[in-house]
Structure 1
Amino acid sequence: MSFSVGIPRALLYYYYFPAWQAFFQTLGAEIVLSDETTKHILDQGVRAAVEETCLPVKLFLGHVANLCEKNVDFIFIPRVVSVERKKYLCPKFLGLPEIVRHCLPNLPEILTPEINWGQREGKTLAELKKLAARFCHEPGSFHRALQAALTAQKLYEAKLRQGLTPQEVLHNEKAPLPAGNIRVAVLGHAYNLNDSFLSLNLLKKLRALGAEVITAEMLPAQAIAKGVKSLVKESFWTFGHQLLGVGNYLLRENKIAGLVLVASFGCGPDSLICELIERFYKRQRNVPVLLLTLDEHTGEAGIITRLEAFVDMLYWRKAR
């Protein structure tokens, strides 16, 4: 059975695409990605979304619309509830299939298995097994697909720990040469930082200015665990927990000269997490913090000006 599965190049694509690709290809699927983000794709999403929708979901809708133009048989939009115990993803991920169905007409069939590793691992495995059975009836096909997915994900995360960004790994780009002598942490969701159009190539611009860039994905789980130990209360959002842990770890270990926080307009968890991290840095150590908020109107000139001024200030502080 030959079939094509479309995967939007947005949101959890930057976290789990290698696993998804391996899973479906093992079952015999052709993987079709939406195009790289363009203004047209973003505009499609903005037009389809309701007014209060956050920027990443607007962009996701644009990528789904782009896949519809490619005439794929299915679009994969899992309902991801949790990926670890006692932590959850933002409600937008829980309701993503319904958001897409209500905002976009004439969709192909959407594949929506519920992923809830934190509470219902058995049910999650049953959902994935049921999904696999739709496309391949060979004995052991599900277990082969699952093992291929886990192996691909482990390899992907190992490459991230080597200092590559998700964008560089997914695009098979070479590791960047060692940059300048100041280290700058850039904390934000991978789907904001690694979309070249949305972030205006923020990470590459910082490297071009002579900064060594660190992102949350480059640090091991032990660093996050060490960073959250001093928190009075942990965040129950998976990505928020990760950013708080990394931010606190880098602060306490005196690892960086400056911090860039990247938030998306309309994101409730972002507004809280960024505020908490800023307060940690102001109270505990004098590390400069730059907050950038992205929306569909963000201009490249303004971002470049702020980054240049920020990096110049870091070099000035180091030279004193």
Structure 2
Amino acid sequence: MWDAASDSGKAPGGGVTVDKQGQWSIPRTSLTSDAKGMKVRQVLDGGESDASALQQYTLTAPVVDSPTEGSEATDRKPEFKGKGAKGGTVTIADDQGATLATGAIGTDGTWSVKAKKDLPLGDHTITVTHTADGLTSKETKRSFTVKTDSETPVITKATKNWSGSGSYSASGTGTPGATIEVKWNDPWVSPGGGTTVDGEGNWSYRNASYTTDGEGVKVRQVTNGEASDASKYMQYTLAAPTVLTPGNGSEVTDRKPQITGRGAKGESVEIKDQDGKLLATALVGDNGLWATVPDEELPLGTITITVAHSAGGLISETTQRTFTVTE
């Protein structure tokens, strides 16, 4: 075996023998030359082969301890840690090959460097190399995700108003003090001049000025300038209709009592009993009022009706009324 600076052969470590699979190896600790490469020949039955082509040394790839593969980081300038050649230099490059950080490798073989710029939220793959003794190592790659440390808020209710104001409202939970932003279509907006999560972790908004053809909404919250991931999309429910008569807890003597109320103009209203049986339907007039009577006589006793209406493809929340039918 030769190094790059000599043509004199040397059998390192007392000799290296090719195994039965035709493989051989020599640990670097057996080589004392400062040369940057080597060539080999083999001896068989007293005969020597020609020398191989010169092979320059490559430095083995560094070890990356942090971040771990597939992990998540909330620091936009994450710290990278690992092991490498003592006294060497480590370099971390981003997805585009731009240098994120460099640093010296300690005498114990460990290194720790912090990104010199904020990384955008999302997935990243870094490439880590180190240099020592004039050699540049092979690469180690590590993929991880940068996420915001702002938790994702939750929508518990999203309602579209049918009264003609064109308003939309929603409510839910989040981090106290965070600002809620809403996305109907585009872009993200802060409705009503800004909605803040209260001290109990609850938020709500009503926006009468924003118009949208969307059928639902999603929200995010902003904490310390960092926007969270978007919440799950929630489809609007139509606000419940108003029932004017009969009054809750009232008594009626008509077995086919008149049922009246307010709802979405031009849309249909359904009245069902406590067993889900359809009792009557009605069409909401241009004045937003509706009136109807049951198709059949109601039995004597306590009755609970459930009233719902639809508009724009949305089914409303329901309004219940309980009253008593007497002789």
Q: TM-score range by the shorter chain?
A: under 0.3
State the structure with bigger RCO (CA 8 A, min sep 6), 1 or 2.
Answer: 1
More strand by share: 2
The structure that has the greater radius of gyration is 2
TM-score by length of 1: 0.20
Higher helix share: 1
